[in-house]
Amino acid sequence: MNDLAGKHIVLGLTGGIACYKAAELCRALIKEGASVQVVMTEAAAQFITPVTMQALSNRPVYGSQWDAREPNNMAHINLSREADAILIAPCSADFMSKLLHGGADDLLSLMCLARPIDRVPLLIAPAMNREMWDHPATQRNRAQLQEDGCTVLGVGTGDQACGETGDGRMLEPQELLQDVVAFFQPKVLAGHHMLVTAGPTYEAIDPVRGITNLSSGKMGFAIARAAQEAGAEVTLVAGPVALPTPRGVHRLDVKSASNMLTTCVEYAQAASIFVAAAAVADWRPALSADQKIKKDGSGQTPVLGFIENPDILATLANGPRALSGGLFCVGFAAESHDLLAHATAKRIRKNVPLLVGNIGPDTFGQDDNALLLVDASGATEIPRNSKLALARHLVADIARRIAK
């Protein structure tokens, strides 16, 4: 799946040590299906050569407004008209100021000023020393650029080339790639707050043992990413999984079903959509030992009693916010057989408008999945695809339902 297939990106480089990251970013954009035209300022060429960027982009690099390769000698017009977006990475403090004031004394600034604003968006990835980034002038420039319609992708935090540590680093190439991909996704959930659960829960038997399941959390994390791409504010409540937090998502880590319920009840108060994608344990040990349960050589096994865990989905779906229409609830059913029958029964039992079913053993730990969407009208099969593609399909489906 190439999320940027058919997109033409003009990648602008301004002066800064972060230019070295632009090489990897260029490759990442191309691998995701985009074509890339590099435009560099004179200062950028002090940090990375045009030859490097030409080799990576497979296109001649432009650096001068007087470039005679353009028949009409108007590279600033021609290059901007061909672009689906202009991405400046790195964008220096000086160049941010130039953009704000409409400066146009080199090819890159000319191109930004001459672009058709209504159809060629401008994205910038700032990169500078932490003091420069925090300076009131830079923050005023950032705010005004956003007010003028520029998308400022934010900065990273960490060690800087000058030896200081703080905000101002350019985001990493993969982070920027995700931001660019997200930028082009339809904002069908703008103004909504989605609460998503993901992964397994863990129910302790003693300090070193517990009951869990094989859920990797990948589907729930993909839904969180897809919702954020679609413009929603996203809170992700994650069981014990080793997955990176999707860009722009607020993550809360929990362990047991009881922990997850408490967190979900709290954060559901501000949410308009709840997607219960976690594989929550149905039961937990009635008693959790304070110390490791040891073998005593008798051959006798310990006797474990179990009690039923609280039902998170049913609790929220039958709460006052959902019943009044303020919280749209979506459930998941991971089954081993008879998916349609079990998913249909679960949807009715939980009192949710939409239930998403899948065969657990076929999807746990995998990067792809197949889904069955069950509502009051029947069921729709979503063929096997990557979990992110399925998540985007599901998010679009939810958006259509809540827009009715």
**Selection from 183, 96, 84, 181 nearest residue 135 by Cα:** 96
**How many helices (H) and strands (E) in the chain?**
15, 19
Neighbouring CB atoms inside 10 A of 187's CB total: 13
Report the CATH architecture of 193-403: 3-Layer(aba) Sandwich (3.40)
Tens of pLDDT along the chain (404 residues) come to: 699 999 999 999 999 999 999 999 999 999 999 999 999 999 999 999 999 999 999 999 999 988 888 888 888 888 999 999 999 999 999 999 999 999 999 999 999 999 999 999 999 999 999 999 999 999 999 999 999 999 999 999 999 888 999 999 999 999 999 999 999 999 999 999 999 999 999 999 999 999 998 899 999 999 999 999 999 999 999 999 999 999 999 999 999 999 999 999 999 999 999 999 999 999 999 989 899 988 888 888 888 899 999 999 999 999 999 999 999 999 998 877 888 898 999 999 999 999 998 877 677 778 888 899 999 999 999 999 999 999 999 999 999 999 97
* Selection from 103, 96, 102 nearest residue 155 by Cα: 96
How many residues in total does the chain contain? 404
Note whether 8-184 and 193-403 share their fold: yes
Domain boundaries, the chain: 8-184, 193-403
Which residues are CB-neighbours of 320 under 8 A, at least 6 positions away? Answer: none
CA end-to-end span of the chain, whole Å?
30
**What's the CA angle centered on 363, arms 359 and 367, to 5 degrees?**
155
State which amino acid sits at residue 64: S
Ranges of H-type helices in 185-338:
218-229, 257-267, 312-317, 320-323
How much is the pTM?
A: 0.91
- The CA distance from 355 to 372, in Å, is 8
Could you tell me which CATH number the domain at 8-184 has? 3.40.50.1950
Q: Mark whether 162 is an active-site residue.
A: yes
- Single out the residue of 274, 279, 278 nearest to residue 315, CA to CA: 274
The single residue of 91, 162, 264, 329 carrying the catalytic annotation is 162
